[in-house]
Structure 1
């Protein structure tokens, strides 16, 4: 018999990763379907890649070419408005996401999960849907305002994001991901019977459901699955 207590599911993520956006939206949709408590864990992908010795896909030309085609197909399947930016390599690896993830961490510390979800989604939309900057304060401000924060709140959060406690918090959560042997994002950790079950990628939900004793009904559980 399945336990009535909710299983904790942690999502370690960085908005620079488009595949993590897919996982983020799926987990948000399944919060009311599966018996889980979803915890957002904003971290820094650059730190995880460096700490694990992994190579970004942009450094492997064939992987990078495949990614654009793959994301277009996944957008329709997952129902997420993915549209690669005009210069994905610059967006992902040259500009980076450190400022953005410090901002998200500040939101997490000050405003809580509801606003973290909204702000995070707006940042993903900027970089992976409308080809906009996520590094400059003006860009972070716009994302915060669209997420429902007031101008005063955003200003406070931008200041907080530059503080040492927030920098330390982001580093701590990034190290936590590395302790789970993360080598990229999304890194999803399901706590089952006292054990941490770690899943990488946005294509492991069927296996994850089996692991936590739930049913996988596709990336959009509110829509009926088409019959063959």
Structure 2
């Protein structure tokens, strides 16, 4: 199989709406830029604590800014996200272990991880449901195309030590790149690596990998 030599690792957590934007854009550009996209489900809480950062929800001005910011970003990127009236104080550890378990069981590349992650983002940032509940994870899994038996198996796997260790390992891997928040994108091109934080560095990323940024929808004709 031909490889362009351009590897892009996306470290993300479904608790981060900005991770959703980066996720969707990278999938839209995956074939356009001919990149080897590797999904890296990580734990935002571990990144925040491990880097000495503070959650945006604890900074009043950031919280106020977030509402208008997400509205504009939702329109620009055409990703249906809306800030809830109050941010959930529920931890994303359980849903990210669930995504990690899906990744470990996925026999179709990253197809199921992509679908499950998207369903969890929709539930948290569109319909504002509690994604820490087993019933909510089950519904997300079923909508993503998993069978009832597969979801039950993954829910059991979510509680296992290997999955807990795997999520911790990926989170620590992100911290080794000096990660301080998510999404965090690491691009490897011809033996060189560069990191990009957030969902507003795509033009610079394109420059680094020798490609062209064509807006949030590369295949959509411009007016």
TM-score (norm 2): 0.96
| Moved >4 Å (runs of 4+) | none
Q: CA deviation at 1:60?
A: 1.0
Distance across 1 between alignment mates of 2:184 and 2:46: 13
Equivalent residue, structure 1, for 2:130: 133
Q: CA deviation at 1:97?
A: 0.5
Instruction: Give the conservation status (yes or no) of the 8 Å contact 1:44–1:174.
Output: yes
Q: CA deviation at 1:4?
A: 6.2
Distance across 2 between alignment mates of 1:51 and 1:175: 8
3-state SS of paired residue (1:102) = helix
Equivalent residue, structure 1, for 2:72: 73
Q: Give runs of aligned pairs for residues 208-219 of structure 1, distance below 5 A.
A: 208-219=205-216
Instruction: Give the conservation status (yes or no) of the 8 Å contact 1:217–1:225.
Output: no
Structure 1 residues 86 and 191: CA distance shift in structure 2, 3 A:
same
Distance across 1 between alignment mates of 2:83 and 2:136: 18
Q: CA deviation at 1:195?
A: 2.2
Equivalent residue, structure 2, for 1:201: 198
Distance across 2 between alignment mates of 1:97 and 1:51: 16
Q: CA deviation at 1:135?
A: 0.3
Equivalent residue, structure 2, for 1:222: 219
Q: CA deviation at 1:5?
A: 2.1
3-state SS of paired residue (2:25) = helix
Q: CA deviation at 1:6?
A: 3.6
**Alignment match of 2:99 (pick from 100, 104, 107):** 104
- Give the root-mean-square deviation of aligned CA atoms: 1.2
Between Structure 1 and Structure 2, how many residues are aligned? 220
Distance across 2 between alignment mates of 1:4 and 1:21: 26
**Alignment match of 1:171 (pick from 150, 168, 173):** 168
Distance across 2 between alignment mates of 1:96 and 1:86: 17
Distance across 1 between alignment mates of 2:172 and 2:50: 8
Any stretches of 5+ residues in structure 1 without a counterpart?
Answer: none
Any stretches of 5+ residues in structure 2 without a counterpart?
Answer: none
Q: CA deviation at 1:196?
A: 1.8
Instruction: Give the conservation status (yes or no) of the 8 Å contact 2:5–2:189.
Output: no
Instruction: Give the conservation status (yes or no) of the 8 Å contact 1:20–1:186.
Output: yes
TM-score (norm 1): 0.94
